[in-house]
Amino acid sequence: MPATLYFVIGPAGSGKSTVSTLIAERSHAAYLDKDSVATFFTEALLELAGTDKHERDNNEYYQRSVMDLEYETLLRLAGDNLRLGNSVVLDAPFVRYFPRPDFLEQASARHRWPADVEIVVVHVTVEGSRVRDRVEGRGYDRDAWKLAHWDEFWATAQAAECRWRGAHHILFDNSADGMTARNLEVALAEFS
Sign of torsion over alpha carbons 35, 39, 40, 41: positive
Residue 56 banded pLDDT, cuts 50, 70, 90: confident
Looking at residue 5, the DSSP 8-state letter turns out to be E
Choice between 112 and 144, residue whose per-residue pLDDT is larger: 112
- What share of the chain has pLDDT > 90, as a percent? 54
Question: Using one digit for the tens of pLDDT, what is the confidence trace for 140-191?
Answer: 666 666 666 666 665 665 556 899 999 999 988 777 655 556 666 666 665 5
Choice between 94 and 125, residue whose per-residue pLDDT is larger: 94
Residue 6 CA to residue 27 CA, distance in Å, equals: 10
Residue 51 CA to residue 81 CA, distance in Å, equals: 34
Q: What is the mean pLDDT of residues 17-42?
A: 93
